[in-house]
Amino acid sequence: MPSQKLLSQLARKHGTPMIVVDHDEVRRNYATFKKYLPRVQAYYAVKAFSDPVIVQTLFEAGASFDVASMPEFRIVYEYVKDMPPKQRQEWIWDKIIYAHPIKAEATLRELDPYKPLVTYDNHEEIRKIKKHAPHAGLALRLKVPNTGAMVELSSKFGAAPGEAVDLILEADKAGLVVEGLSFHVGSQTTNFDNFVQAINLAANIFQEAKDRGYTKMNLLDIGGGFPAPYDATVRPFRELARKINAELDRLFPKDVQILSEPGRFMVATAGTAVSTIIGKAVRDGKLCYYIDDGVYHTFSGILFDHCQYHMKSFKKGPKQICTVFGPTCDALDVVSMSEELPGNLELGDLLYSVNIGAYSSASSTPFNGFPPAKIVHINR
């Protein structure tokens, strides 16, 4: 993370609330992913932090992109729009996956000229794609175990294994091409067996499809869920990579392309939030600090992702258990009910929180008239 001295300097220059994004850390995370999963092409999940400058850094590093809305698609498209048409189309086909299984008809019509790879998981989506985006390639998303994930996704998306091949054959009958399978084991998955089970399930579906006469699949998208190291309970990424590599090498020939959709893993550790204490009170004998950021802004992951971001102080002093509130008048706006901070902090002092780059700025709102945090990029 940036030094306290640099964070203080940036806060004085730009004001708070502020999120400092360290692009050297983004590049390190991408390099780590490629080092330990050399066979897997990383399609950065743009929704994790959709700032165009982050997309540019990953574009330059060689990443591909997972988009789940047309605004996200357009952010990525900015970097390829000036390519010659043939080169641009080849890049889009190889470097972008539209990984939202449920798409509006208008979205499909807008996507169709780009001939993208899209996911689906039900009969109605086949009908929609056939009518509105017949030039798209398809990847069937499977329902897989999400046990132990911080955010569970399998109840909302994914075809049941028992209907998977029927959905593949139905799409084929409609004149569409199913290029392969995809799955998502849940966000921030610390149960590594989820990946093992999902890869094995996908291999079984590949074999069943082949046995029933469908032989066109040549890719597997193993989704996201790669955990960020928020604390010491998260086992090292290299340990997860060993499990994934072993199953991929055992079950899938080298000519099967392996995709992934890391979002949190790429940007979580690259973001540091800096806020200012704007209020101080003692309530029921407990010290309370009020800061100019909160759960409607950078700390939204407390609500949406079940994350707990710890606050740190630039100032030293005897610590005590404090409550940290956000700036809005909503009682829901609580950053922490139990945070160890010096009791001698004053109005205007700064606090910071590390590892807050994923799904923070992405979920900010202007609720109660308070603006989202400024984004400050360093090491560009």
CATH of the domain at 56: 3.20.20.10
Q: Is the pLDDT assigned to residue 149 strictly greater than 60?
A: no
Indicate if 232 and 170 belong to the same structural domain: yes
User: Higher model confidence: residue 100 or residue 305?
Assistant: 100
Q: What are the two backbone dihedrals, phi and then psi, of residue 313, each rounded to the nearest 5 degrees?
A: -110, 145
Task: Give catalytic residue positions.
Answer: 329
Query: Model confidence at 148, in pLDDT bands (50, 70, 90)?
Result: low
Amino acid 333: pLDDT = 96
Count of the separate structural domains present in the chain:
2
- 142-151, 287-296, 316-325: least confident range: 142-151
Amino acid 321: pLDDT = 97
Indicate if 242 and 279 belong to the same structural domain: no
Query: Model confidence at 150, in pLDDT bands (50, 70, 90)?
Result: low
Q: Is the pLDDT assigned to residue 308 strictly greater than 60?
A: yes
**DSSP alpha helix (H) spans, 152-192:** 161-173
Amino acid 152: pLDDT = 55
Indicate if 356 and 315 belong to the same structural domain: yes
Indicate if 81 and 183 belong to the same structural domain: yes
Indicate if 38 and 9 belong to the same structural domain: no
CA distances from 120 to 78, 123, 206, 231, 291 (A): 26, 9, 16, 35, 43
Q: Which of 53, 41, 16 is nearest to 262 (CA)?
A: 41
Amino acid 186: pLDDT = 84
Q: Which residues, in sequence order, are bridge partners of residue 324?
A: 289, 336
Among the candidates 241, 267, 293, a domain finishes at: 267
Indicate if 48 and 160 belong to the same structural domain: yes
Mean pLDDT, residues 333-351: 96
Indicate if 308 and 230 belong to the same structural domain: no
Indicate if 191 and 336 belong to the same structural domain: no
Indicate if 221 and 334 belong to the same structural domain: no
As to burial, measured by CB atoms within 10 angstroms (0-12 exposed, 13-18 middle, 19+ buried), residue 214 is: middle
CA distances from 357 to 50, 124, 290, 370 (A): 11, 36, 22, 20
Greatest extent of the chain over all pairs of C-alpha atoms, in Å: 72
Indicate if 240 and 281 belong to the same structural domain: no
Q: What is the domain extent for residue 309?
A: 4-19+268-378
Kindly report the CATH number assigned to the domain that includes residue 287.
Answer: 2.40.37.10
Mean pLDDT, residues 322-347: 96
Indicate if 46 and 147 belong to the same structural domain: yes
Amino acid 250: pLDDT = 97
Amino acid 161: pLDDT = 94
Indicate if 8 and 51 belong to the same structural domain: no
User: Higher model confidence: residue 109 or residue 369?
Assistant: 109
